[in-house]
Amino acid sequence: MIPVILQAPAEVAMTVAARARALRLARGWTQQELAERAGVAVDTLRRFERTGKIALERLLMIAKVLDAIEPFGGLFAPPPARTLAELERASGPGRVRARKPRRRA
């Protein structure tokens, strides 16, 4: 298998679709059954398994049903801090005082 970093986006999509199909088959589910469980149209699932094309929200719905949603949580994670200043910035603002309301004239 070619590492994902060397694959074109369409190849990555097909790899994801093939893995989803393999998980579906391992559970003994038909396309119809997975589509119903995930709340997506069966035609959407068929097209996804055949072409790798699917809307992100529907992919997440399928991933949830297949117990494969966790890896999506790390997608686009910020890079680790390299300095103490970056770490402090990444932890968010410190204590912030509320502003006093302005007096109206």
| Pick among 1.10.260.40, 3.40.50.720, 3.30.420.40, 3.40.50.970: CATH of 4-90 | 1.10.260.40
Is residue 103 predicted with pLDDT exceeding 80? no
CB 51 within 8 A of CB 18: no
Give residue 92's pLDDT band: very low, low, confident or very high (50, 70, 90). Answer: low
Q: Which residue has the higher pLDDT, 88 or 67?
A: 67
Phi, psi angle pair for 94, to nearest 5°: -75, -155
- Per-residue pLDDT band at 37 (split at 50, 70, 90): very high
